[in-house]
Structure 1
Amino acid sequence: MGVANRLDLTLRLVQGTGRISVAELSQRLGVSEMTVRRDLDTLEHQGLVRRIRGGAIPTRSRDEDAGFAAREDWQAATKDRLGAAVAERVEPGSRVLLDAGTTTVHVAEHLAARAPLTVAVLSLQTAMRLADRPGIELLVVGGRSRPGERSLVGPLALRTLESLVFDCFVMSIGGVHAEQGWTEFSLDDAAVKQAGLAQSTRTLAVADATKLGVRAFSQVAPLGAVHAFVTDSAADDADTHPSGPQTLKALRDAGVDVHLA
């Protein structure tokens, strides 16, 4: 796993729990405790976590949006390639629900080429990318903006989703595990994704290869609840992603159409 990818997951695990030990991070990421300590030092230097005895807790940096902003540029080229691959699988004329996340921002950039589309978005970041794009009818799902991520969550978001029906849900995900299925770091985000799954004819999940084999803290759905999954080709390389091939096999066995971009 590359350093940037590992820092991404480490930050999200710290933020997702509020407090996590070096030993647990080592187990979840499949790296040595010495590597975890170095990564936590890097994140602390950036103002994103605070080291405590035996582990770390999240902290606010000077930038209120540090969570999203810190990850936005990590693996940007890979995420842009995934965004293009996802957009190609969205039919013009569709009613699309677009999830929050750094990867779906890149999906949004490529969706304009698939117009006309009606796109409901679950984050302020994707709304900004799609505003005023020709051929895109933009709907911003109401709700509470989650600090640090600007994803739209809470009872208002859930009620809005329950009143709408979509042809396609483009779902980002924090972790995908052979046994635990699709998992997310935030309970609020997990609830919104569950509503999106229930209200959509078809769900297309997207995540870079670092998310394969990761067990986040809230189960969203079993593997078979998703129709297709787009990830990068590194997912099939056991040397860089030991859990990748096993997870891809579990997805295919569950009937998920897997695409490597």
Structure 2
Amino acid sequence: MSRDARWNTLLELLVQRGRLDVEEAAAELEVSAATIRRDFDRLADQQMLVRTRGGAVVHGVSYELPLRYKTARHASEKQRIAEAVAGLIAPGEAVGLTGGTTTTEVARALAVRDDLTSGSPALTVVTNALNIANELAVRPQFKIVVTGGVARPQSYELIGPLTDGVLGQITLDVAVLGVVALDVAHGAAAHDEAEAAVNRLLCERAERVVVAADSSKLGQRAFARICGTESVDTLVTDAAAGTDTVRRFEEAGLRVIVV
């Protein structure tokens, strides 16, 4: 197991359990206790966990994995969802993309669509996610608009009043949201309130809103509300979503696409 894969596993175990002992983690990952101690020390240096005597605990009350450690979770599902979402976007449209692993996959799916290789522009992409802008900026057929703002290291997203100022001046055909949670009663949500505020403004500036969320996000709640389900037009999720869950979203007025 590579170091990055080991760190990813350690952080996910911490999220699930809240605390990990060195010996326990070494046994589960089949590495030496000395290796785990070094891993814990390095992750503590990056403020991603808190070292304790003989182990580690999660960093803070509302713990969130940085984007780079979430890319492997539900990877195949996210790629299928991304392809379906990309298929909902027409050439020449203006599309807003929030940050996140699934929306990053949407950007990649758009980049390889055969009917988006030419035009002036073939697509206008507005994003507050630095990693998405970086990936798409090399595509000359795309017009890339980056919102500006203060970078949030967990998600590479730009937030704050500078971001709001740009979004307040534009109109979008479609906003594609990556969410931490989507619940019929409580709507779409994120961990961070500033991130949620930017996503909410993207929704308000768009003609239609698409939520790209794997099934693990459905029926969940998170701290910061983005919008209610009445603001969402389409949900694209994976086949692990239960039929009752899908039915509840459809009854709430959403078009649900299961891939």
TM over 0.5: yes
One-letter amino acid of the counterpart of residue 68, structure 1: L
Q: Are the equivalent residues in 2 in contact too, given 1:98–1:120 (CA < 8 A)? A: yes
Instruction: Tell me how far apart the structure 2 counterparts of residues 235 and 49 of structure 1 sit (CA, whole Å).
Output: 31
Instruction: Tell me how far apart the structure 2 counterparts of residues 207 and 51 of structure 1 sit (CA, whole Å).
Output: 33
1:20-45: CA deviations, max 9, x gaps? xxxxx7xxxxxxxxx66569976985
Residue 163 of structure 1, aligned match among 164, 169, 174: 169
Shift of 1:77: 2.0
Instruction: Tell me how far apart the structure 2 counterparts of residues 98 and 39 of structure 1 sit (CA, whole Å).
Output: 39
Equivalences, count:
220
Larger Rg: 2
Instruction: Tell me how far apart the structure 1 counterparts of residues 245 and 49 of structure 2 sit (CA, whole Å).
Output: 30
Q: Are the equivalent residues in 2 in contact too, given 1:224–1:251 (CA < 8 A)? A: no
Instruction: Tell me how far apart the structure 1 counterparts of residues 21 and 218 of structure 2 sit (CA, whole Å).
Output: 20
Residue 152 of structure 2, aligned match among 137, 146, 149: 146
Q: Which runs of 5+ in 1 are unaligned?
A: 15-24, 26-34, 60-65, 237-244
Q: TM-score, normalised by structure 1?
A: 0.75
Change beyond 3 A, Cα 1:226–1:188: same
Q: Are the equivalent residues in 2 in contact too, given 1:176–1:247 (CA < 8 A)? A: no
2:231 maps to 1:225: yes
- 2:106 alignment counterpart: 107
Instruction: Tell me how far apart the structure 2 counterparts of residues 51 and 206 of structure 1 sit (CA, whole Å).
Output: 35
Q: Are the equivalent residues in 1 in contact too, given 2:19–2:57 (CA < 8 A)? A: no
Q: Are the equivalent residues in 2 in contact too, given 1:177–1:247 (CA < 8 A)? A: no
1:136-190: CA deviations, max 9, x gaps? 1111111111022211111111111011000000111110113211111110111
| Identity fraction in percent | 31
Change beyond 3 A, Cα 1:159–1:248: same
Residue 209 of structure 2, aligned match among 189, 203, 208: 203
- 1:178 alignment counterpart: 184
Change beyond 3 A, Cα 1:158–1:52: farther
Instruction: Tell me how far apart the structure 2 counterparts of residues 249 and 175 of structure 1 sit (CA, whole Å).
Output: 17
1:94-117: CA deviations, max 9, x gaps? 011111001111100111215210
Shift of 1:220: 1.4
Instruction: Tell me how far apart the structure 2 counterparts of residues 229 and 199 of structure 1 sit (CA, whole Å).
Output: 18
